[in-house]
Chain A
Amino acid sequence: MRVIILGGFLGSGKTTALLQMARYLVSRGGVVIIENEIGEVGVDDKFLRSGGLAVRNLFSGCACCTVSGDLTAAAREIREKENPEFLVIETTGVAYPLNMRENLAYALGVESRIAILADAARWNRLVGTLEGLIAGQLEGADAVLINKCDLSDEETLAKIEADILGLEPNAKIFRVSALSGIPDSVWGAATGV
């Protein structure tokens, strides 16, 4: 079971991208999704299920901290009972994916790949007001997909890339528009699959 953590700030397009990533992965093996939502009411899980995907919920807390035990328990159960080729974890928009990777490695001995969505349209405002959170979410990222590129100009995108590389120098960076469709070549590079 290969684990892919899909993270990024609220509204960055994680769920829209996840639908496309799941389609890419399904053609290469079985996929189970853990959907973590921090509120009491699930919204994204209903949307993903309506697309025919196998989704496990983690509500009411963040899987990088308050419900980290629930995450490792769910991942262990999925591995034992279903053992899909791919387990995709969509984080809450306030999660620190590196914490989740470390927790999963410690509890289950699995390596995870981290792909982060960055919101090009709101990048400057978010970095200006929530820098610690945005920076923390990029920590350990294997790939960063700068989403909503169609809403930003070249100068802004170049600055975002520089900001990201300043925070996580090892990340591969891709410019995408999830609404227009993310090419398989990007998913291949981002997921390592």
Chain B
Amino acid sequence: MREHDHSHGHEHHGHGQHEHEHEHEHHDHDHDHDDVLRELESAEPGVPAVAAGEHDGAVIISGALKIRAEDPRSARHRTADGLERIAAEVDAAGGVVGHIKASFVATSYDMLSVTEAGKGVRLARSPETEVKIGVAAIVFKADAEFVKSLVLEALQGVIEN
């Protein structure tokens, strides 16, 4: 079996209120990843959360943001622009992009109601769409704090002014 350096650690920066570091042992998974994920996902709406880790020479940044958007397509464009900026900055700094991915889930709410037979169905649509964005950036030959700041900036750039 191959032997590799599987050192693996991470630190999490929620919305400026929480910070911790820990190391993981090889083949040991009874640790706090679930907690980190919960913290990422439970960040306040409109406040990006970012966690940084390293694995086998790769910098791994996870980010999450929830917003309410009047125009989700515009938010998706801003997300795409943000990913491109991360890649460009990593490249300019001499890093190697593994991948920079985002999930973009937009949920809108429609309500259909009937109060009287033969009078049609009333449709009410919520004015805003709930958007959840998850970002996974894996890069090599780059500083974790630097890449984390880029992901944070990208997520902040998604928020409508």
Contacts and interface: CB of A to CB of B under 8 A. Distances in A.
A139 B105 CA distance: 37
Most buried by B among A47, A61, A68, A93: A61
B56 interface: yes
Most buried by B among A11, A42, A94, A136: A94
A9 interface: yes
A173 interface: no
Contact of A99 (B2, B33, B140): B2
B111 interface: no
A102 B1 CA distance: 7
Given A61-B8, A66-B26, A129-B96, A139 B2 contact: yes
Nearest to A40: B62
Contacts of B105: 46
B75 interface: no
A152 B62 CA distance: 32
Contact of B55 (A11, A44, A94, A102): A94
Contacts of A125: 96
A66 B37 contact: no
A130 B33 contact: no
Dominant SS among interface residues on chain A: loop
Dominant SS among interface residues on chain B: strand
A59 B62 CA distance: 11
Contacts of B2: 96, 98-99, 136, 139
Contact of A10 (B40, B64, B99, B103): B99
Given A66-B24, A66-B27, A136-B4, A38 B55 contact: yes
B114 to A, nearest CB: 31
B136 interface: yes
A66 B29 contact: yes
A44 B134 CA distance: 11
Interface in B36-74: 36-37, 40, 51, 53, 55-58, 60-64
Which 7 A/B pairs are nearest by Cβ-Cβ distance? A10-B98, A60-B33, A40-B62, A41-B134, A39-B136, A39-B62, A65-B6
24 contacts: A9-B98, A10-B99, A10-B138, A11-B99, A38-B58, A38-B138, A39-B60, A41-B64, A41-B134, A41-B136, A43-B101, A43-B102, A46-B103, A46-B105, A60-B37, A61-B55, A66-B8, A66-B26, A70-B29, A94-B56, A94-B98, A98-B1, A99-B1, A125-B96
Given A9-B98, A38-B58, A43-B102, 18 more contacts: A38-B60, A39-B136, A39-B137, A40-B33, A40-B51, A40-B53, A41-B37, A43-B103, A47-B103, A65-B4, A66-B6, A66-B27, A93-B98, A99-B1, A99-B2, A126-B96, A133-B56, A139-B2
